[in-house]
């Protein structure tokens, strides 16, 4: 699977890590710095992301959480002047390497945004759009993937009788679960969620939270959230960012009950941010 991420055959030494790969981790981040022009938004962070776990990124506005999240599937490439250095190792490849096929990468490392952004197409069409583009044309196969993805996103029962109706007729919470289903259809290994439920009502938020916990059986999930209760409810590991630095990264229970760094304690107890 990994070789499909390469643009072309190259000498492996150009992208191999200098640090041994830890197999229980899905991603190993080493000395990652991210710049917008001259401004450094992420200051040389290192962390390992666990497989089949939920990792929450927390911290005050502007501390670099979304910048870091977007670097993991190279979404920052779309921002003029943005650049990253260091390593984000995925299996044995550095995601930041120029040799990475970014389209293939974004299938394996999918992203869901804060505001639900379904295409102005049918529910069915939202899920099959990228699949058709990637060469899957057979109706029976498409039907199967649509059902499986909607089941996994806990939306199937609510929409199975109106698959060919517009996705825009769904509620905000349903639209967000459709966006998650659309990501699932691409068979990712990692899902990046940027405040996925902050625009939703409390009931939809609870459904999305339940879904995230369910999904970690099959995927490794990294979520940016401003909601401390959400981070403590659904994540296994929590990373606290401040001014582009990774201040503390530990088991969520430890971060929320007995953090090692005073700034973390001040932030989670609401004394700033
Ligand atoms: N497209 C951009 N161009 C220039 N600077 C940017 C851009 N996006 C973010 N920044 C800057 O990078 C820094 C980190 O921003 P980022 O959005 O990653 O923070 P954040 O922790 O996700 O914030 P929030 O919680 O408000 O979403 C900030 O100083 C921000 O102004």
Q: Is residue 66 in contact with ligand 1, taking CB distance under 6 Å? A: yes
CB 32 within 8 A of CB 45: yes
Taking the chain (273 residues) in runs of 10, the rounded mean pLDDT of each run is 54 46 81 98 97 97 97 96 97 94 95 94 97 93 97 94 98 95 95 92 90 94 96 97 98 96 95 83
Q: H/E element holding 236? A: none
Q: Is residue 64 in contact with ligand 1, taking CB distance under 6 Å? A: yes
CB 4 within 8 A of CB 99: no
Q: Could you please state the CATH topology (level 3) that the domain comprising 2-7+25-268 is classified under.
A: Rossmann fold (3.40.50)
**3-state class of 53 per DSSP?**
coil
Q: Is residue 59 in contact with ligand 1, taking CB distance under 6 Å? A: yes
Atom of ligand 1 nearest to the CA of 59: 21
**Domain spans in the chain, listed from the N-terminal domain onward:** 2-7+25-268
Instruction: Output the pLDDT for position 11.
Output: 42
Comparing CA positions, the residue from 17, 40, 24, 37 lying closest to residue 96 is 17
Instruction: Output the pLDDT for position 91.
Output: 87
242 token code pair: 């401040």
87 token code pair: 């390593």
Q: Is residue 34 in contact with ligand 1, taking CB distance under 6 Å? A: no
d(CA 254, CA 247): 14
Instruction: Output the pLDDT for position 6.
Output: 66
d(CA 56, CA 257): 16
Q: Is residue 67 in contact with ligand 1, taking CB distance under 6 Å? A: yes
Instruction: Output the pLDDT for position 126.
Output: 97
CA distances from 151 to 17, 117, 183, 265 (A): 38, 20, 13, 39
Atom of ligand 1 nearest to the CA of 39: 5
CA angle 99, 111, 23 (to 5 degrees): 60
pTM higher than 0.80 = yes
Instruction: Output the pLDDT for position 156.
Output: 96
d(CA 106, CA 99): 14
d(CA 208, CA 152): 12
CB 133 within 8 A of CB 104: no
95 token code pair: 């995601």
246 token code pair: 């990774």
Beta bridge partners of 36: 39, 82
61 Cα–ligand 1 center, Å: 8
CB 173 within 8 A of CB 181: no
């Amino acid at each position: 699977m990994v070789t499909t991420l390469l643009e072309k055959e190259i000498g492996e030494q150009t992208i191999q890590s200098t640090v041994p790969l830890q197999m229980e981790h899905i991603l190993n981040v080493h000395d990652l710095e991210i710049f917008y022009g001259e401004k450094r938004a992420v200051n040389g962070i290192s962390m390992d992301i666990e497989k089949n776990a939920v990792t929450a990124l927390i911290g005050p506005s502007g501390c670099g959480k979304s910048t870091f999240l977007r670097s993991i599937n190279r979404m920052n490439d779309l921002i003029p002047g943005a650049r990253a250095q260091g390593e984000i190792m995925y299996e044995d490849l550095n995601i930041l390497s120029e040799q990475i096929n970014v389209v293939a990468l974004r299938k394996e490392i999918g992203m869901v945004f804060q505001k639900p952004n379904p295409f102005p197409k049918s529910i069915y069409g939202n899920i099959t759009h990228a699949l058709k583009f990637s060469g899957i044309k057979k109706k029976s196969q498409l039907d199967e993937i649509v059902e499986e993805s909607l089941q996994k996103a806990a939306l199937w029962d609510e929409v199975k009788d109106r698959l060919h109706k517009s996705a825009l007729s769904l509620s905000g919470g349903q639209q967000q679960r459709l966006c998650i289903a659309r990501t699932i259809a691409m068979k990712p290994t990692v899902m990046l969620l940027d405040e996925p439920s902050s625009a939703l009502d409390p009931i939809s938020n609870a459904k999305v939270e339940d879904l995230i916990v369910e999904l970690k059986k099959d995927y490794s999930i990294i979520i940016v959230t401003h909601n401390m209760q959400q981070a403590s409810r659904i994540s296994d590991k929590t990373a606290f960012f401040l001014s582009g630095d990774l201040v503390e990264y530990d088991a969520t229970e430890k971060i929320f009950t007995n953090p090692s760094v005073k700034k973390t304690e001040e932030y989670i107890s609401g004394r700033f941010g």
